[in-house]
Amino acid sequence: MMEFRATGLSASGATTKKLIAFAYNIEEFQVSSGPSWISSDKYYVKAKVEDSVVEQLQKLPDLRQDDQIRLMVQSLLVDRFNLKVSHGTKELPIYALVIAKNGPKLQESKPGDTSPNAVKGPEGHGRAAMARRGGSRLTDRGASMAAVAEQLSRLLGRRVVDRTGLKAKYTFTLEYSDDEARATTYKASEGTNPGVDNGPPPDSSGPSIFTALQEQLGLKLEPTKGPVEVLVIDHIEKPSEN
């Protein structure tokens, strides 16, 4: 669990890799190299922003506040973990989001079609996610295929690129097995090649995210390789005790 606001950052059970990904506004699969403990050791973090700085941050738009908090977490990582990083690009396994054999099953959004209570995506589309026992539901309103690919990247722990050729914005609901999504993320982090042939486990209460995309949206994820921007860990040390 991670929570951040103008007053600081709170994290419980966070791995170092997750903290690094948050600080640099990337996904965990983009963090490259480093010792194995950055993915296994978990920390409780309580980082407080000085009162004088909080007042300044609260005057900024939300996205600017986020950027400033991330910079502060970068400084924290340098100070406590002696972190040194560099930026690069690697050829890695990715997924291509394409149209399935029988064509897309998507409803084009109307102008301004967004849920007032939904979380707003980077393009202003409305996104609502609900997890329940054995499964999850993702509802998107006014989302481009590029935005859908970005969401799938977060869910699967692997870069997803849009190759559908679809230019409109869409409203849809996707229901899939949450357990299967977690298992897929684990497989991706281990460097294997999960795909549509990896069916859900016997006790799963719903379709895998791969099957759900095909059956419900008429879209398909094809395993391939491509360039991925990565953050390379050049040096890191375990933090000293408080």
Instruction: Based on the fold, state whether residues 108 and 200 are members of the same structural domain.
Output: yes
Instruction: Based on the fold, state whether residues 115 and 194 are members of the same structural domain.
Output: yes
Instruction: Based on the fold, state whether residues 127 and 198 are members of the same structural domain.
Output: yes
Q: How far apart are CA 93 and CA 193, in angstroms?
A: 8
Instruction: Based on the fold, state whether residues 106 and 66 are members of the same structural domain.
Output: no
Question: Would 241 be classed as within a structural domain?
Answer: no
Q: With DSSP H G I counted as helix, E B as strand and the rest as coil, what are the percentages for the chain, rounded to 5?
A: 30, 35, 35
Q: What is the pLDDT of residues 119-177, one digit of tens each?
A: 445 555 545 444 444 468 888 888 999 999 999 998 899 999 999 999 999 999 999 98
Backbone angles phi, psi at 65, to 5 degrees: -60, -45
Question: Would 148 be classed as within a structural domain?
Answer: yes
Range of the domain at 179: 90-228
Question: Would 103 be classed as within a structural domain?
Answer: yes
Three-state SS at 5: strand
**How many domains, the chain?**
2
Q: How far apart are CA 72 and CA 225, in angstroms?
A: 34
Instruction: Based on the fold, state whether residues 118 and 181 are members of the same structural domain.
Output: yes
Mean pLDDT across 45-73:
86
Question: Would 237 be classed as within a structural domain?
Answer: no
pLDDT at 54 over 60: yes
Question: Would 233 be classed as within a structural domain?
Answer: no
pLDDT (0 to 100) of residue 179:
59
Instruction: Based on the fold, state whether residues 55 and 94 are members of the same structural domain.
Output: no
Rounded to the nearest 10°, the torsion over CA 139, 187, 42, 122 is: -30
Q: What is the pLDDT of residues 180-229, one digit of tens each?
A: 454 444 344 444 444 433 444 444 567 899 999 999 999 999 999 999 99
Instruction: Based on the fold, state whether residues 72 and 99 are members of the same structural domain.
Output: no
The one-character DSSP state at 216 is I
* The overall pTM is greater than 0.85: no
Which of 52, 81, 110 is where one domain is finished?
A: 81
pLDDT at 40 over 50: yes
Question: Would 242 be classed as within a structural domain?
Answer: no
Which of 19, 50, 81 is where one domain is finished?
A: 81
Question: Would 200 be classed as within a structural domain?
Answer: yes
